[in-house]
Amino acid sequence: MSADRELVQVAMSGEGIIGRRHFLRRIGLGAAGLAASGALPVSFTDWMALQAAEIRKNHRACILLWMSGGPSQIETFDPKPGTEHGGETKAIATSVPGISIAEGWVQTAKVMNEITLIRSMTNKEGNHQRATYQLHTGYVPSATIKHPNLGCSVANELNGSQFDLPHIVSIGGSTIGAGFLGAALEPFLVQNPEKPPENTEPRVPVGRFRRRLKLLDHLESAGFEKVGGYDRVQDHRALYSQTSKMILSPQMRAFNLSEESEAIRSAYGKNAFGQGCLLARRLVQAGVTFVEVRSGGWDTHQQSHEKVGKLASTVDPAFATLIGDLKAHGMLDSTLVVWMGEFGRTPKINPNAGRDHFPRAFNVALAGGGVKGGHVIGRTTPDAMDVMDRPVVVPDLLASICHSLKIDPNKEVMTPVGRPIKVVDGGKPVKELFV
Protein backbone atom coordinates (compact mmCIF):
# COMPACT_ATOMS: atom_id res chain seq x y z
CA MET A 1 0.00 0.00 0.00
CA SER A 2 1.38 3.43 -0.89
CA ALA A 3 2.05 5.95 1.86
CA ASP A 4 -0.47 8.36 0.35
CA ARG A 5 -3.20 5.70 0.24
CA GLU A 6 -2.37 4.71 3.82
CA LEU A 7 -2.82 8.34 4.88
CA VAL A 8 -6.28 8.38 3.29
CA GLN A 9 -7.30 5.26 5.18
CA VAL A 10 -6.01 6.65 8.47
CA ALA A 11 -7.86 9.92 7.96
CA MET A 12 -11.10 8.07 7.15
CA SER A 13 -10.79 5.63 10.04
CA GLY A 14 -12.32 6.00 13.47
CA GLU A 15 -9.13 7.45 14.90
CA GLY A 16 -10.63 10.95 14.70
CA ILE A 17 -8.39 13.97 14.34
CA ILE A 18 -4.85 12.77 13.80
CA GLY A 19 -2.44 13.78 16.59
CA ARG A 20 0.65 15.81 15.75
CA ARG A 21 3.18 13.03 16.31
CA HIS A 22 1.06 10.44 14.46
CA PHE A 23 0.43 12.86 11.62
CA LEU A 24 4.08 13.69 11.25
CA ARG A 25 5.02 10.04 11.09
CA ARG A 26 2.38 9.39 8.43
CA ILE A 27 3.26 12.21 6.11
CA GLY A 28 6.93 11.48 6.37
CA LEU A 29 7.93 14.94 7.53
CA GLY A 30 9.27 15.56 4.11
CA ALA A 31 11.87 17.75 2.81
CA ALA A 32 13.74 19.86 5.11
CA GLY A 33 16.22 19.24 2.33
CA LEU A 34 16.78 22.93 1.84
CA ALA A 35 19.92 22.51 3.89
CA ALA A 36 21.17 19.84 1.54
CA SER A 37 20.66 22.12 -1.45
CA GLY A 38 23.57 24.30 -0.42
CA ALA A 39 21.31 27.36 -0.33
CA LEU A 40 21.97 28.08 3.34
CA PRO A 41 24.50 30.67 4.49
CA VAL A 42 27.88 29.40 5.62
CA SER A 43 27.96 31.24 8.95
CA PHE A 44 25.24 30.10 11.30
CA THR A 45 26.08 32.79 13.85
CA ASP A 46 25.84 35.71 11.43
CA TRP A 47 22.78 34.34 9.68
CA MET A 48 20.90 33.56 12.88
CA ALA A 49 21.75 36.95 14.34
CA LEU A 50 20.22 38.66 11.31
CA GLN A 51 17.18 36.37 11.38
CA ALA A 52 16.61 36.88 15.10
CA ALA A 53 16.98 40.62 14.82
CA GLU A 54 14.38 40.74 12.07
CA ILE A 55 11.96 38.38 13.79
CA ARG A 56 12.18 39.64 17.34
CA LYS A 57 13.06 43.30 16.68
CA ASN A 58 12.87 44.81 20.17
CA HIS A 59 11.46 41.70 21.77
CA ARG A 60 13.19 39.95 24.61
CA ALA A 61 13.71 36.30 25.50
CA CYS A 62 13.85 34.15 28.61
CA ILE A 63 15.75 30.96 29.43
CA LEU A 64 14.39 29.12 32.47
CA LEU A 65 16.75 26.65 34.13
CA TRP A 66 14.33 24.44 36.05
CA MET A 67 15.68 22.38 38.96
CA SER A 68 12.92 19.79 39.19
CA GLY A 69 12.32 18.44 42.68
CA GLY A 70 13.15 21.51 44.74
CA PRO A 71 16.82 22.50 45.19
CA SER A 72 18.23 22.98 48.67
CA GLN A 73 18.95 26.65 49.27
CA ILE A 74 21.63 25.75 51.83
CA GLU A 75 23.60 23.61 49.36
CA THR A 76 23.23 26.18 46.58
CA PHE A 77 23.10 29.95 47.10
CA ASP A 78 22.28 30.50 50.79
CA PRO A 79 24.80 28.40 52.72
CA LYS A 80 24.91 28.44 56.53
CA PRO A 81 28.33 26.98 57.37
CA GLY A 82 29.05 26.31 61.01
CA THR A 83 25.41 26.57 62.09
CA GLU A 84 23.07 23.94 63.48
CA HIS A 85 21.41 23.37 60.10
CA GLY A 86 24.37 24.09 57.83
CA GLY A 87 25.35 20.45 57.51
CA GLU A 88 28.59 19.63 55.68
CA THR A 89 28.27 22.52 53.23
CA LYS A 90 31.04 25.09 53.15
CA ALA A 91 30.81 28.57 51.64
CA ILE A 92 33.06 29.90 48.87
CA ALA A 93 33.78 33.47 47.84
CA THR A 94 32.48 34.87 44.57
CA SER A 95 33.56 37.59 42.15
CA VAL A 96 31.50 40.02 44.24
CA PRO A 97 33.01 40.89 47.62
CA GLY A 98 30.67 39.99 50.47
CA ILE A 99 28.63 37.41 48.52
CA SER A 100 29.33 33.77 49.28
CA ILE A 101 27.62 30.70 47.86
CA ALA A 102 27.91 26.97 48.53
CA GLU A 103 30.96 24.98 47.52
CA GLY A 104 30.52 23.09 44.29
CA TRP A 105 29.37 26.22 42.44
CA VAL A 106 32.82 27.46 41.49
CA GLN A 107 32.02 28.55 37.94
CA THR A 108 28.83 30.32 39.02
CA ALA A 109 30.85 32.15 41.68
CA LYS A 110 33.05 33.58 38.91
CA VAL A 111 30.10 35.26 37.16
CA MET A 112 28.29 36.43 40.29
CA ASN A 113 28.74 40.01 39.09
CA GLU A 114 26.08 39.18 36.46
CA ILE A 115 23.71 37.41 38.89
CA THR A 116 21.29 38.65 41.50
CA LEU A 117 20.20 36.19 44.18
CA ILE A 118 16.80 36.34 45.83
CA ARG A 119 17.30 34.54 49.14
CA SER A 120 13.91 35.46 50.54
CA MET A 121 11.48 33.57 48.31
CA THR A 122 8.51 32.35 50.34
CA ASN A 123 5.42 30.33 49.48
CA LYS A 124 2.85 27.92 50.94
CA GLU A 125 2.77 25.16 48.34
CA GLY A 126 4.88 22.19 49.46
CA ASN A 127 3.50 19.65 46.99
CA HIS A 128 5.61 19.07 43.87
CA GLN A 129 2.76 19.18 41.36
CA ARG A 130 0.97 22.17 42.87
CA ALA A 131 4.13 24.20 43.40
CA THR A 132 5.47 23.39 39.92
CA TYR A 133 2.17 24.51 38.41
CA GLN A 134 2.20 27.74 40.43
CA LEU A 135 5.84 28.61 39.68
CA HIS A 136 5.18 28.08 35.98
CA THR A 137 1.80 29.79 35.65
CA GLY A 138 1.50 32.32 38.46
CA TYR A 139 -1.66 30.58 39.68
CA VAL A 140 -2.45 27.80 42.12
CA PRO A 141 -4.11 24.81 40.42
CA SER A 142 -7.83 25.06 39.77
CA ALA A 143 -10.41 22.45 38.88
CA THR A 144 -12.18 24.83 36.51
CA ILE A 145 -9.39 26.15 34.30
CA LYS A 146 -5.98 25.20 32.98
CA HIS A 147 -3.75 28.25 33.17
CA PRO A 148 -1.00 28.67 30.58
CA ASN A 149 2.68 28.30 31.27
CA LEU A 150 4.14 31.79 31.69
CA GLY A 151 6.41 30.97 28.75
CA CYS A 152 3.36 30.41 26.59
CA SER A 153 1.90 33.71 27.77
CA VAL A 154 5.20 35.41 26.99
CA ALA A 155 5.26 33.89 23.50
CA ASN A 156 1.64 34.95 23.00
CA GLU A 157 2.58 38.54 23.77
CA LEU A 158 5.96 38.80 22.03
CA ASN A 159 5.93 36.53 19.00
CA GLY A 160 4.30 37.24 15.67
CA SER A 161 2.85 34.53 13.50
CA GLN A 162 5.59 34.80 10.88
CA PHE A 163 8.10 32.60 12.67
CA ASP A 164 9.10 29.11 11.62
CA LEU A 165 10.35 27.63 14.89
CA PRO A 166 8.22 26.94 17.98
CA HIS A 167 7.64 29.93 20.22
CA ILE A 168 8.39 27.98 23.42
CA VAL A 169 10.70 24.98 23.76
CA SER A 170 11.20 22.61 26.70
CA ILE A 171 14.49 20.72 26.74
CA GLY A 172 15.01 17.58 28.80
CA GLY A 173 11.40 16.84 29.72
CA SER A 174 7.84 18.05 29.42
CA THR A 175 6.62 21.16 31.18
CA ILE A 176 3.32 22.88 31.99
CA GLY A 177 1.29 23.37 28.82
CA ALA A 178 -0.43 26.26 27.10
CA GLY A 179 -3.76 25.76 28.89
CA PHE A 180 -6.54 27.90 27.48
CA LEU A 181 -4.17 29.60 25.01
CA GLY A 182 -4.52 26.56 22.76
CA ALA A 183 -2.47 24.05 20.82
CA ALA A 184 -0.57 26.59 18.71
CA LEU A 185 1.32 27.74 21.82
CA GLU A 186 2.02 24.33 23.34
CA PRO A 187 5.69 23.92 24.32
CA PHE A 188 7.78 21.99 21.82
CA LEU A 189 9.54 19.11 23.58
CA VAL A 190 13.19 18.21 22.94
CA GLN A 191 14.13 15.13 24.93
CA ASN A 192 17.74 14.87 23.76
CA PRO A 193 19.45 18.14 22.80
CA GLU A 194 22.25 16.30 21.00
CA LYS A 195 19.91 14.78 18.43
CA PRO A 196 17.49 16.39 15.96
CA PRO A 197 13.95 16.68 17.36
CA GLU A 198 11.92 13.52 16.88
CA ASN A 199 10.00 13.12 13.63
CA THR A 200 11.64 16.02 11.82
CA GLU A 201 13.96 14.06 9.53
CA PRO A 202 13.10 14.33 5.81
CA ARG A 203 11.65 11.14 4.32
CA VAL A 204 9.97 12.27 1.10
CA PRO A 205 10.62 15.05 -1.44
CA VAL A 206 9.14 18.51 -0.88
CA GLY A 207 6.60 18.24 -3.70
CA ARG A 208 5.18 15.00 -2.40
CA PHE A 209 5.06 16.37 1.12
CA ARG A 210 3.02 19.38 -0.03
CA ARG A 211 0.63 17.14 -1.97
CA ARG A 212 -0.01 15.14 1.19
CA LEU A 213 -0.83 18.31 3.09
CA LYS A 214 -3.35 19.32 0.42
CA LEU A 215 -4.89 15.84 0.52
CA LEU A 216 -5.25 15.96 4.28
CA ASP A 217 -6.83 19.41 4.08
CA HIS A 218 -9.32 18.15 1.50
CA LEU A 219 -10.22 15.11 3.61
CA GLU A 220 -10.84 17.23 6.67
CA SER A 221 -12.92 19.74 4.73
CA ALA A 222 -15.04 17.00 3.16
CA GLY A 223 -15.29 14.89 6.29
CA PHE A 224 -14.81 16.13 9.84
CA GLU A 225 -15.71 19.75 9.05
CA LYS A 226 -19.17 18.72 7.83
CA VAL A 227 -20.08 16.57 10.84
CA GLY A 228 -19.73 19.05 13.67
CA GLY A 229 -15.98 18.99 14.01
CA TYR A 230 -15.23 22.46 12.64
CA ASP A 231 -13.44 23.72 15.77
CA ARG A 232 -11.27 20.62 15.95
CA VAL A 233 -10.46 20.88 12.26
CA GLN A 234 -9.39 24.50 12.73
CA ASP A 235 -7.10 23.59 15.61
CA HIS A 236 -5.65 20.67 13.70
CA ARG A 237 -5.04 22.74 10.59
CA ALA A 238 -3.25 25.38 12.64
CA LEU A 239 -1.13 22.68 14.22
CA TYR A 240 0.00 20.91 11.08
CA SER A 241 0.46 24.21 9.24
CA GLN A 242 2.78 25.40 11.99
CA THR A 243 4.58 22.06 12.13
CA SER A 244 5.07 21.72 8.39
CA LYS A 245 6.39 25.27 8.21
CA MET A 246 8.87 24.40 10.92
CA ILE A 247 10.28 21.26 9.33
CA LEU A 248 10.67 22.93 5.95
CA SER A 249 12.50 25.88 7.48
CA PRO A 250 16.26 26.44 7.16
CA GLN A 251 16.09 27.66 10.76
CA MET A 252 15.89 24.02 11.85
CA ARG A 253 19.67 24.05 11.82
CA ALA A 254 19.42 25.92 15.12
CA PHE A 255 18.90 22.46 16.65
CA ASN A 256 22.22 21.19 15.25
CA LEU A 257 24.82 21.44 18.00
CA SER A 258 27.52 19.99 15.76
CA GLU A 259 27.95 23.46 14.28
CA GLU A 260 29.38 24.64 17.61
CA SER A 261 33.08 24.35 18.45
CA GLU A 262 34.36 21.53 20.61
CA ALA A 263 35.64 24.11 23.09
CA ILE A 264 32.24 25.72 23.71
CA ARG A 265 30.49 22.35 23.90
CA SER A 266 32.98 21.17 26.50
CA ALA A 267 32.64 24.41 28.48
CA TYR A 268 28.88 23.85 28.82
CA GLY A 269 29.50 20.23 29.81
CA LYS A 270 29.18 17.04 27.80
CA ASN A 271 25.91 16.02 29.42
CA ALA A 272 22.22 16.48 28.69
CA PHE A 273 21.80 19.59 30.81
CA GLY A 274 24.94 21.31 29.57
CA GLN A 275 24.14 20.65 25.92
CA GLY A 276 20.55 21.69 26.61
CA CYS A 277 21.78 25.09 27.79
CA LEU A 278 23.88 25.44 24.64
CA LEU A 279 20.83 24.56 22.54
CA ALA A 280 18.83 27.16 24.49
CA ARG A 281 21.35 29.84 23.50
CA ARG A 282 21.14 28.80 19.85
CA LEU A 283 17.34 28.81 19.89
CA VAL A 284 17.14 32.26 21.46
CA GLN A 285 19.73 33.41 18.94
CA ALA A 286 17.43 32.12 16.19
CA GLY A 287 14.45 34.06 17.57
CA VAL A 288 12.73 31.65 19.99
CA THR A 289 11.20 33.62 22.85
CA PHE A 290 11.10 31.17 25.78
CA VAL A 291 13.25 28.10 26.43
CA GLU A 292 13.12 25.87 29.49
CA VAL A 293 16.02 23.54 30.27
CA ARG A 294 15.21 20.93 32.91
CA SER A 295 17.49 19.26 35.45
CA GLY A 296 15.97 16.45 37.50
CA GLY A 297 16.87 14.75 40.77
CA TRP A 298 16.64 17.69 43.19
CA ASP A 299 14.14 15.97 45.52
CA THR A 300 16.91 15.11 47.97
CA HIS A 301 15.18 13.39 50.88
CA GLN A 302 18.31 11.29 51.37
CA GLN A 303 21.99 12.25 51.32
CA SER A 304 21.31 15.83 50.35
CA HIS A 305 24.88 17.10 50.53
CA GLU A 306 26.24 14.32 48.35
CA LYS A 307 23.42 14.44 45.79
CA VAL A 308 23.40 18.22 45.41
CA GLY A 309 27.16 18.14 44.94
CA LYS A 310 26.77 15.69 42.07
CA LEU A 311 23.96 17.72 40.49
CA ALA A 312 25.97 20.93 40.83
CA SER A 313 28.85 19.36 38.91
CA THR A 314 26.68 19.47 35.75
CA VAL A 315 24.50 22.53 36.42
CA ASP A 316 27.25 24.86 37.67
CA PRO A 317 29.41 24.98 34.51
CA ALA A 318 26.37 25.07 32.24
CA PHE A 319 24.75 27.96 34.14
CA ALA A 320 27.95 30.00 34.23
CA THR A 321 28.88 29.29 30.61
CA LEU A 322 25.40 30.20 29.42
CA ILE A 323 25.69 33.62 31.06
CA GLY A 324 29.14 34.21 29.60
CA ASP A 325 28.16 32.93 26.17
CA LEU A 326 25.07 35.13 25.99
CA LYS A 327 27.18 38.11 26.97
CA ALA A 328 29.82 37.27 24.35
CA HIS A 329 27.10 37.19 21.68
CA GLY A 330 25.66 40.51 22.83
CA MET A 331 22.44 38.81 23.95
CA LEU A 332 22.58 38.95 27.77
CA ASP A 333 20.95 42.37 28.09
CA SER A 334 17.89 41.16 26.18
CA THR A 335 17.77 37.59 27.51
CA LEU A 336 16.67 36.86 31.06
CA VAL A 337 18.13 33.72 32.64
CA VAL A 338 16.25 32.33 35.65
CA TRP A 339 17.53 29.47 37.84
CA MET A 340 14.88 28.03 40.17
CA GLY A 341 12.85 25.04 41.34
CA GLU A 342 9.42 24.62 42.91
CA PHE A 343 10.53 25.20 46.53
CA GLY A 344 13.48 24.75 48.88
CA ARG A 345 14.48 22.10 51.41
CA THR A 346 14.11 21.95 55.19
CA PRO A 347 16.99 23.51 57.10
CA LYS A 348 16.81 20.65 59.59
CA ILE A 349 18.51 17.55 58.25
CA ASN A 350 16.36 14.41 58.52
CA PRO A 351 17.54 10.99 59.80
CA ASN A 352 18.47 9.98 56.22
CA ALA A 353 20.95 12.87 55.91
CA GLY A 354 18.46 14.52 53.55
CA ARG A 355 16.23 17.56 53.51
CA ASP A 356 12.47 17.57 52.98
CA HIS A 357 10.08 19.99 51.21
CA PHE A 358 10.26 23.56 52.46
CA PRO A 359 8.42 26.39 50.67
CA ARG A 360 8.73 28.84 53.58
CA ALA A 361 12.19 30.10 52.55
CA PHE A 362 14.13 29.32 49.39
CA ASN A 363 16.25 31.01 46.74
CA VAL A 364 16.21 31.96 43.05
CA ALA A 365 19.02 33.28 40.83
CA LEU A 366 18.51 35.68 37.91
CA ALA A 367 20.85 37.18 35.33
CA GLY A 368 20.55 39.28 32.18
CA GLY A 369 17.37 40.82 30.85
CA GLY A 370 18.03 44.14 32.57
CA VAL A 371 18.71 42.53 35.97
CA LYS A 372 21.35 44.39 37.98
CA GLY A 373 23.96 41.75 38.73
CA GLY A 374 26.17 41.31 41.79
CA HIS A 375 23.47 41.73 44.42
CA VAL A 376 21.52 39.76 47.01
CA ILE A 377 17.87 40.49 47.78
CA GLY A 378 16.49 39.43 51.14
CA ARG A 379 17.87 37.37 54.00
CA THR A 380 16.92 34.29 55.95
CA THR A 381 17.39 33.85 59.68
CA PRO A 382 20.67 32.32 60.91
CA ASP A 383 18.94 28.96 61.31
CA ALA A 384 17.44 29.33 57.78
CA MET A 385 13.95 28.59 59.11
CA ASP A 386 12.34 31.88 58.12
CA VAL A 387 12.69 34.90 55.86
CA MET A 388 14.30 37.68 57.88
CA ASP A 389 13.64 40.60 55.54
CA ARG A 390 12.29 41.48 52.07
CA PRO A 391 10.01 38.48 51.50
CA VAL A 392 9.31 37.79 47.81
CA VAL A 393 6.24 35.75 46.89
CA VAL A 394 5.69 33.79 43.68
CA PRO A 395 3.48 36.42 41.97
CA ASP A 396 6.21 39.03 42.64
CA LEU A 397 8.82 36.81 40.99
CA LEU A 398 6.71 36.14 37.91
CA ALA A 399 5.73 39.81 37.67
CA SER A 400 9.47 40.57 37.69
CA ILE A 401 10.01 38.16 34.80
CA CYS A 402 7.25 39.95 32.92
CA HIS A 403 8.83 43.31 33.69
CA SER A 404 12.17 42.13 32.30
CA LEU A 405 10.43 40.98 29.13
CA LYS A 406 8.43 44.22 28.90
CA ILE A 407 5.09 42.47 29.37
CA ASP A 408 2.26 43.78 31.54
CA PRO A 409 1.59 41.05 34.14
CA ASN A 410 -1.85 42.54 34.77
CA LYS A 411 -2.97 42.29 31.16
CA GLU A 412 -6.18 40.29 30.89
CA VAL A 413 -6.46 37.52 28.32
CA MET A 414 -9.85 36.08 27.45
CA THR A 415 -10.38 32.35 27.79
CA PRO A 416 -12.46 30.54 25.14
CA VAL A 417 -15.51 30.91 27.40
CA GLY A 418 -15.04 34.66 27.76
CA ARG A 419 -13.46 34.71 31.21
CA PRO A 420 -10.73 37.37 31.66
CA ILE A 421 -7.54 36.00 33.22
CA LYS A 422 -4.48 38.10 34.06
CA VAL A 423 -1.06 36.96 32.89
CA VAL A 424 -0.02 36.71 36.57
CA ASP A 425 -2.33 36.53 39.56
CA GLY A 426 -1.31 39.73 41.33
CA GLY A 427 2.22 40.57 42.39
CA LYS A 428 4.54 43.48 41.75
CA PRO A 429 7.99 43.44 40.15
CA VAL A 430 10.87 43.29 42.62
CA LYS A 431 12.29 46.72 41.92
CA GLU A 432 15.67 45.95 43.50
CA LEU A 433 16.33 43.56 40.62
CA PHE A 434 16.46 46.38 38.11
CA VAL A 435 17.70 49.52 39.87
Domain boundaries, the chain: 1-30+207-255, 42-196+259-433
Q: Which residue has the higher pLDDT, 207 or 383?
A: 383
Taking only the tens place, the pLDDT of each residue in 223-266 is 555 555 566 666 666 666 666 677 777 888 999 999 999 999 99
Question: What is the pTM assigned to this prediction?
Answer: 0.84
pLDDT of residue 164: 85
Q: Which residue has the higher pLDDT, 265 or 166?
A: 265
Please determine, for residue 114, whether its predicted confidence score (pLDDT) is greater than 50.
yes
pLDDT of residue 363: 98
Q: Which residue has the higher pLDDT, 213 or 154?
A: 154
Kindly list the distances between the CA atom of residue 340 and the CA atoms of 57, 64, 208, in Å, as whole numbers in the listed order.
28, 8, 46
| Calpha distance 214→383 (Å, rounded) | 66
| Calpha distance 230→236 (Å, rounded) | 10
pLDDT of residue 41: 45
H helix intervals, 83-182: 106-110, 128-137, 150-158
Percent of the chain scoring above 90 in pLDDT: 69
Going by pLDDT thresholds of 50, 70 and 90, the confidence category of residue 161 is: low
Going by pLDDT thresholds of 50, 70 and 90, the confidence category of residue 212 is: confident
Kindly list the distances between the CA atom of residue 213 and the CA atoms of 9, 23, 221, 237, in Å, as whole numbers in the listed order.
15, 10, 12, 10
pLDDT of residue 247: 75
Please determine, for residue 37, whether its predicted confidence score (pLDDT) is greater than 50.
no
Please determine, for residue 2, whether its predicted confidence score (pLDDT) is greater than 90.
no
pLDDT of residue 211: 75
Please determine, for residue 45, whether its predicted confidence score (pLDDT) is greater than 60.
no
User: What's the mean pLDDT in 143-155?
Assistant: 95
User: What's the mean pLDDT in 336-357?
Assistant: 98
- Cα–Cα nearest to 332, from 340, 341, 318, 322: 322
| Calpha distance 277→150 (Å, rounded) | 19
**Secondary-structure breakdown of the chain: helix, strand, coil percentages, each rounded to the nearest 5:** 40, 15, 45
CA 229 to mean position of chain CA atoms = 33
User: What's the mean pLDDT in 352-380?
Assistant: 98
Kindly list the distances between the CA atom of residue 239 and the CA atoms of 1, 20, 21, 26, in Å, as whole numbers in the listed order.
27, 7, 11, 15
Q: Which residue has the higher pLDDT, 157 or 109?
A: 109
Percent of the chain scoring above 70 in pLDDT: 77
pLDDT of residue 391: 98
User: What's the mean pLDDT in 146-167?
Assistant: 87
- Cα–Cα nearest to 398, from 57, 62, 116, 58: 62
pLDDT of residue 141: 95
pLDDT of residue 435: 76
pLDDT of residue 235: 65
Type and span of the H or E element at 168? strand 168-171
Three-state secondary structure call for residue 195: coil
Average pLDDT taken over every residue of the chain: 85
User: What's the mean pLDDT in 188-209?
Assistant: 79
Please determine, for residue 52, whether its predicted confidence score (pLDDT) is greater than 60.
no
Please determine, for residue 56, whether its predicted confidence score (pLDDT) is greater than 80.
no
pLDDT of residue 128: 98
Half-sphere exposure of 106 (CA within 13 A, CB side): 4
Indicate the class that CATH gives domain 42-196+259-433: alpha beta
Please determine, for residue 36, whether its predicted confidence score (pLDDT) is greater than 80.
no
| Calpha distance 260→278 (Å, rounded) | 9
pLDDT of residue 198: 74
User: 149: buried, middle or exposed (CB in 10 Å: 19+, 13-18, 0-12)?
Assistant: buried
**CA angle, 264 then 46 then 282, to 5°:** 45
Give the DSSP per-residue string, 235-256.
HHHHHHHHHHHHHT-GGGGGG-
| Calpha distance 339→39 (Å, rounded) | 38
| Calpha distance 410→291 (Å, rounded) | 22
User: What's the mean pLDDT in 182-191?
Assistant: 91
Is 327 in contact with 292 (CB distance < 8 Å)?
no
Three-state secondary structure call for residue 42: coil
Please determine, for residue 325, whether its predicted confidence score (pLDDT) is greater than 70.
yes
Going by pLDDT thresholds of 50, 70 and 90, the confidence category of residue 283 is: very high
